[in-house]
Structure 1
Amino acid sequence: MPLRRPRPSAARVAALTLAVVTALPLGLVCAPTAMADAVPSAPAPSAQVSCRPVQLYGAAPDGKLDFFSHADAAQGSFNWPVIGKRIDGSGWGAPRITLGGPGNWIYSINADGGLYRHRYDPVTNSWGTPPGEKIDSGWGNFLNGASRRNRVTIDERGNIFAVHDDGTLRLYRYDEKTGAPMPGNGRVIDTGTWGGYNLVVAAGDGLLFARQGGDLYRYRYDVDTQQWLEIKSPAWTAGWDKIREIRSAGGGTLYALHTDGSLFWYRYDVNAAAWVDTGRRKAGWNFETYYGISVSTDACKVPAQPVKPPVAPRPNMPAAIRQGSDKLIQQFYVDERGWLINGVQRDPKDLGTVAYSTVAGARDFVDQPVVMEQADGTPMAFALGKDGHVWMTKRQAGGTWSALKDLGGDFTAAPTVTRNPQGIVAVHAFDRDGRMWYLNQQSSNSDNFIPWRTRDAYSSMPAGYEKSSFAGAGQAVSVDVTADRPFILGIDKQGRLGMNRADAKREGWWVWGASDVSGLGGTPAAARGADGKVTAFARTKDGEIWTAKESTKADADTKLPLNGFFGQGTVLPGVKTTGSPAVAVNQDKSLGVVVRDDKGYVYYARQLTPDGEFGRWSLVAPKQAATDPAVVQLDNGEWAVFYIDTQGLERMYWLSEADGGSAQPRSLVRPKRSVPAGPVFTGGVVAKSRDGKPVVKEGR
């Protein structure tokens, strides 16, 4: 394509006419031989995309900046209403990098290492003020060498993605409302895997392409939910090493500048998961005289996805309660307003030592919080918002809680949290479709979490090995939360209890082992018994509590060992519930289970002997509960039941050991005989909280 409008030769007129009239694919118009074997297997069906004229800028080596308008970004035909209009006469040459952005913005990395933005209005042919606004420093390394120049890209929403020399991919955003400068190091959204790419381009809202050698790979990152939807999928193999630069106008479009100055057009349809035109169209030529090109990144849009409904609050939501390494008991619960309330109990047995506070801005939560400590002993709390995101807060010096940090996600039930021996905190949750996602702290004690990935994103095992699709509303639970290889449990869409275990490096997950029993519901609970094996508890379809011990069998298809809860298990008769159980470990390593029955009373059953059968249910306290019970386990083996009663009073009851048991459990096949027993709980009201302040106390 000409840079100006000189009088073309006859041959030139013929070439232009051919391009305009037929918009022939690349293979028929000056096709570079290097691209000949790069055709995907099949084109995508016709798909909707809306495009306005694309603003393309050419930065010449002598510093001049020219403007072009491409009127057919949706189809890639040769249609240029404006060709080579001079809009600035100096300053745009080497070593400057010019990048397009949304909303008429042009970004540049200048020789001083600063990141600048400029606004040009093609309608009025004028520059906005101030001209060349500096928004960050420290970008000079991207000017050093051709391989670094193509490692910065901007998407249709103004998100800046940059690949650094340490192999990390970082995300930057400029706050338009406050005018705050961008952080100098950005947020790391992927670690150590991007060093092999010498080109990255954002082609839509979270759609990224990266080049390694002659191959192009595809990634999809949802900025709002902070989820990696697709990771290193082969997009188009061979021939891309001959491309100087790739820019995008959004909507999956790519403008690829070949080394001979030809400009090729492509479009990838995310919804169809295929390229729209496998012939590849040549949209222009004669760009070889430009040092670099840039394109407005929001010219093309695909239809917006429907807004997902808010997450409904969980009924009878239990609290999270945990003793920390400082011996303090941290309580967290979501009250009837959806506020996140914290209580710190200084003396486990003194019910009047609870100090309350609310987390600033902590509103609209819908499920049980989760409490964990990071490696340095700092308490952390995680809670699910009605937006489906997981939010995190940390205890700060002075006893206050940090501002909520949005960790993203798209979930309908609370997550579970683990911490490995290296001090890395990891969060796991099931999405609306029943897939497990997890994200890890970037390093121990870090405030940054590497965004959510699915199990398959980390695993080297082939996709499709899972035998379960988990209930989207089901909460994940974990066992061995501070071990190197924790177990994750969840109930699948068939009502089976699934169990999975991280590999030795926590880089993948083994095959899910689903229970033989189906029809289970609620949130499961589990703990290790005296024999070292995991025992799990869940609610049956009849509202009773079912329990089974961990076992192993070989997968019929893969022959790999499965950990799970196989066989018929055991049902504990006598109590029916619409809620979920909680589990405790006694000092003799026998297990106990606590549950709120369908009338609101809290009951307890324990193993008669370590690893033995369970006794009958015993009433914990005569006060009805409005929430499912939670258990706080002390490091000396003592434990207590915690719940909020129907008057809004917080209650805690400690187990006083006594000879106990009463009714032997029955299996799913036939009932067994009964024997006497009777554990005793002592305790009472902790306090009533109103706006975070205790107003009522009661002795025990």
Structure 2
Amino acid sequence: MPLSRPRPSAARMAALTLAAVTALPLGLVCAPAAVADAVPSTPAPTAQVSCRPQAQLYGATADGKLELFTHGDAAQGSFNWPVIGKRIDGSGWGSPRITLGGPGNWIYSINPDGGLYRHRYDPATNTWGTPPGEKIDSGWGTFLDGAARRNRVTIDDRGNIFAIHDDGTLRIYRYDEKTGAPMPGNGRVIDTGSWGGYNLIVAAGDGLLFARQGGDMYRYRYDVDRQQWLEIKSQAWTSGWQYLRDIRSAGGGTLYGLHADGSLFWYRYDVNAGAWVDTGRRKAGWNFETFHGISLSTDACKTPAQPAKPPVAPRPNMPAAIRQSSDKLIQQFYVDERGWLVNGVQRDPRDLGTVAYSTVPGARDIVDQPVITEQADGTPMAFALGKDGHIWMTKRQAGGTWSALKDFGGDFTGAPTVTRNPQGIVGVHAFDRDGKMWYLNQQSPNSDNFIPWRTRDAYSSMPAGYEKSSFLAAGQAASVDKEADRPFILGIDKQGRLGMNRADAKREGWWVWGASDTSGLGGTPAAARGADGKVMAFARTKDGEIWTAKESTRTDADSKLPLNGFFGDGTVLSGVKTAGSPAVAVNQDKSLGVVVRDDKGYVHYARQLGPDGDFSRWSLVASKQAATDPAVVQLADGQWAVFYIDTDGLERMYWLSDADSGSAQPRSLARGKRSTPADPVFTGGVTAKSHNGKPVVTEGR
């Protein structure tokens, strides 16, 4: 509103606005007129949003002045302006400077020098904080370069800055409110490649992000704390948005759109109702055409906070993770009785006296089995679940030390599984509290950044199988073909059936395989490919025995398409009762073996009698009882070993003897009977940490 002409009073402005609403149909001002989302027949209850009595709106004039307006009905969008056009600064705010509102009375600007500045104005006292105009970052000048870039920056109700870059990535920036210093992870890429088509983005509170492409508006929802994409590219409202030159938010799902004729339109999307609020009072103001940009306080409105989720309980008897890395070292990770993450490095695969142990810096409150992989350059990485439901990662550094844990967020109750595709991209998969599968991928080979969690592939017309999954929330994911282009992800569903996801051939989505006919399964499944190339899975039955089945195919009754899964009755390996989960090993002849801890703590082993043969009876691995489920390490030469923590808290490893690592004597077994010519022999014992420097004593059964 220019200062060169008489300013109408609030009453006069109200009359003008109401007259304009009556005389000017919505279509004539080209505001969005059609919704893609359902609009409730009854407006959503206003109790689902709470707003301050006045929401601050700032208008920057072309000649550099900054004026304050306050909207007295941000929750409903009616015409209510207690403060109209109050000049709060007299110069410096003109184009090309970009002005952005923030929370806590902060106003941000991108200045012609390319710097990002913040300013604090208190409307109650009409004073500016000191220092006035604090530069907190540089390199933002590209957003001043052309109209298409000016609206590609937005600030949410918590001060997080989201920016679309020319490479099509969406990035998040966070600054310490007290010092203005960049927070860890500042400028992190949170989505890649497909944001270049948007010419406007606006954060609307509670993780809501709206993005405009042409005349259409799309909706996203991103949980900053849990680093999860809750919603991706849902069509929010079709047509008409191109006529609004500025779109800002006061939080709580509100949008304020400035039309070229000076009209100010109000909208609100209700996250809880999943719909737009239709109150019939969408035009909130008039005569804003003289401003080259507007901004709002982004925390004026809030939706109800979600109740805090309870901490994740530690998994009882959780196994270790153990893997031989490409440098031939054996990496061990386990969680001790305090919940601390412990790493052991074994330099000689067959010499237990070469293991050295240390705790990972800051790795506390770990509640489930760690998972180990290595990235494309051979650097080992470990992932673990914290009691907060987040997945945490540590990476080996130069000199052999491990980095402090990096928070990857999430909302999970079971440990993840980790894959790496032939392009070198590491992927992490896990089940949330509702049993839905989520995944995140490394941005590029060897990158420290992972693109945040999602349940489906963005920008693909092909739905992801994860969205259809209903896995057991407390279960851990398992995987097969971890370093293949199309890995399998396995889990137990809520009916106790074994289900499996696999990437489709074009990697455009994830498909759910059929659930097993057998139900009542529990624990964490284990699986590997047998000599015939088919996947064989193992899981615990409701009676505590180990069940196994091989993948097969049947025709889906609805789609008439081939459906893969673990069909049929499978086989129960009777003779051992367990409350834990199995681990699987691959012998040199590609026959499979399975190890499990029984209900008294003893670890047992059963093996196929030859490639694709039946299974032997159970045999004892060692005479010392285990406090954890066993883990298996496979060596590059085809040998393997069992690792567990015993009831005295000591680490133990037992190798299957070379003579027993394959089965040269396959035999046909009578139904219901399982035997073997001779029990296999395991040798080993406690590892170096347990000996206090004394020579290692090799044990055998």
| 2:556 partner amino acid | D
Residue 382 (structure 1) aligned with residue 383 (structure 2): yes
- Structure 2 CA distance, aligned partners of 1:680 and 1:603? 12
**1:97·1:292 contact (CA, 8 Å) conserved in 2?**
yes
Equivalent in the alignment of 1:473: 474
- Structure 1 CA distance, aligned partners of 2:279 and 2:625? 67
Cα deviation for residue 358 of structure 1 reads: 1.1
Residue 533 (structure 1) aligned with residue 534 (structure 2): yes
Q: CA 1:272–1:482 in 2, change beyond 3 Å: closer, same or farther?
A: same
- Structure 1 CA distance, aligned partners of 2:30 and 2:591? 72
Q: CA 1:3–1:617 in 2, change beyond 3 Å: closer, same or farther?
A: farther
- Structure 2 CA distance, aligned partners of 1:210 and 1:224? 21
**2:76·2:279 contact (CA, 8 Å) conserved in 1?**
no
- Structure 1 CA distance, aligned partners of 2:199 and 2:348? 58
TM-score normalised by L of structure 2: 0.94
Equivalent in the alignment of 2:488: 487
**2:457·2:508 contact (CA, 8 Å) conserved in 1?**
no
Q: Matched residue pairs, number? A: 692
Equivalent in the alignment of 1:586: 587
- Structure 1 CA distance, aligned partners of 2:666 and 2:624? 23
Root-mean-square deviation (CA, aligned residues, Å) is: 2.6
Could you report, residue by residue, the CA deviation over 1:69-102 in whole angstroms, capped at 9, with x for unpaired residues?
1111011111111100011110000100000000
SS of the residue corresponding to residue 235 of structure 1 reads: strand
Could you report, residue by residue, the CA deviation over 1:583-605 in whole angstroms, capped at 9, with x for unpaired residues?
00011111000000000000000
Equivalent in the alignment of 2:220: 219
SS of the residue corresponding to residue 288 of structure 1 reads: coil
Matches of residues 3-42 of structure 1 in structure 2 within 5 Å? Answer: 6=6, 8=8, 16-17=14-15, 32-33=29-30, 35-37=32-34, 41-42=38-39
SS of the residue corresponding to residue 142 of structure 1 reads: helix
Could you report, residue by residue, the CA deviation over 1:500-558 in whole angstroms, capped at 9, with x for unpaired residues?
21123434112332111110000000011111111110000000000011112232222
**2:393·2:408 contact (CA, 8 Å) conserved in 1?**
yes
Equivalent in the alignment of 1:417: 418
**1:243·1:256 contact (CA, 8 Å) conserved in 2?**
yes
**1:257·1:264 contact (CA, 8 Å) conserved in 2?**
yes
Could you report, residue by residue, the CA deviation over 1:164-202 in whole angstroms, capped at 9, with x for unpaired residues?
011000000002355424689710000001011000000
Higher deviation after alignment, 650-659 or 138-147: 650-659
**1:39·1:278 contact (CA, 8 Å) conserved in 2?**
no
Cα deviation for residue 357 of structure 1 reads: 1.4
- Structure 2 CA distance, aligned partners of 1:465 and 1:448? 23
- Structure 1 CA distance, aligned partners of 2:185 and 2:421? 30
Equivalent in the alignment of 1:155: 156
Cα deviation for residue 698 of structure 1 reads: 3.8
Equivalent in the alignment of 1:429: 430
| 1:633 partner amino acid | Q
| 1:50 partner amino acid | S
SS of the residue corresponding to residue 14 of structure 2 reads: helix
Equivalent in the alignment of 1:169: 170
**2:437·2:469 contact (CA, 8 Å) conserved in 1?**
no
Equivalent in the alignment of 1:404: 405
**1:3·1:286 contact (CA, 8 Å) conserved in 2?**
no
TM-score normalised by L of structure 1: 0.94
| 1:42 partner amino acid | V
Matches of residues 520-559 of structure 1 in structure 2 within 5 Å? Answer: 520-559=521-560
Q: CA 1:7–1:593 in 2, change beyond 3 Å: closer, same or farther?
A: closer
Cα deviation for residue 581 of structure 1 reads: 0.2
Cα deviation for residue 456 of structure 1 reads: 5.8
- Structure 2 CA distance, aligned partners of 1:554 and 1:626? 44
- Structure 1 CA distance, aligned partners of 2:675 and 2:345? 41
- Where in structure 1 are there 5+ consecutive unaligned residues? none
Equivalent in the alignment of 2:90: 89
Q: CA 1:695–1:307 in 2, change beyond 3 Å: closer, same or farther?
A: farther
Q: CA 1:579–1:200 in 2, change beyond 3 Å: closer, same or farther?
A: same
Cα deviation for residue 436 of structure 1 reads: 0.8
Residue 276 (structure 1) aligned with residue 277 (structure 2): yes
Equivalent in the alignment of 2:367: 366
Matches of residues 511-660 of structure 1 in structure 2 within 5 Å? Answer: 511-658=512-659
**1:137·1:184 contact (CA, 8 Å) conserved in 2?**
no
Q: CA 1:519–1:371 in 2, change beyond 3 Å: closer, same or farther?
A: same
SS of the residue corresponding to residue 62 of structure 1 reads: coil
- Structure 2 CA distance, aligned partners of 1:665 and 1:260? 86
Equivalent in the alignment of 2:697: 699
- Structure 2 CA distance, aligned partners of 1:696 and 1:415? 37
Q: CA 1:7–1:55 in 2, change beyond 3 Å: closer, same or farther?
A: closer
Matches of residues 13-412 of structure 1 in structure 2 within 5 Å? Answer: 16-17=14-15, 32-33=29-30, 35-37=32-34, 41-43=38-40, 44-47=43-46, 48-52=48-52, 53-177=54-178, 179-181=180-182, 186-277=187-278, 279=280, 281-412=282-413
- Structure 2 CA distance, aligned partners of 1:231 and 1:468? 18
Q: CA 1:583–1:65 in 2, change beyond 3 Å: closer, same or farther?
A: same
Q: CA 1:390–1:508 in 2, change beyond 3 Å: closer, same or farther?
A: same
- Structure 2 CA distance, aligned partners of 1:666 and 1:225? 52
SS of the residue corresponding to residue 352 of structure 1 reads: helix
- Structure 2 CA distance, aligned partners of 1:57 and 1:466? 42
- Structure 1 CA distance, aligned partners of 2:376 and 2:475? 28
Identity of aligned residues (%): 82
Cα deviation for residue 359 of structure 1 reads: 1.0
- Structure 1 CA distance, aligned partners of 2:471 and 2:694? 42
Could you report, residue by residue, the CA deviation over 1:433-468 in whole angstroms, capped at 9, with x for unpaired residues?
111110000000000000001036475334789764
**1:319·1:629 contact (CA, 8 Å) conserved in 2?**
yes
- Structure 2 CA distance, aligned partners of 1:362 and 1:463? 33
- Structure 2 CA distance, aligned partners of 1:216 and 1:248? 14
- Structure 1 CA distance, aligned partners of 2:139 and 2:209? 23
Q: CA 1:140–1:311 in 2, change beyond 3 Å: closer, same or farther?
A: same
**1:662·1:674 contact (CA, 8 Å) conserved in 2?**
no
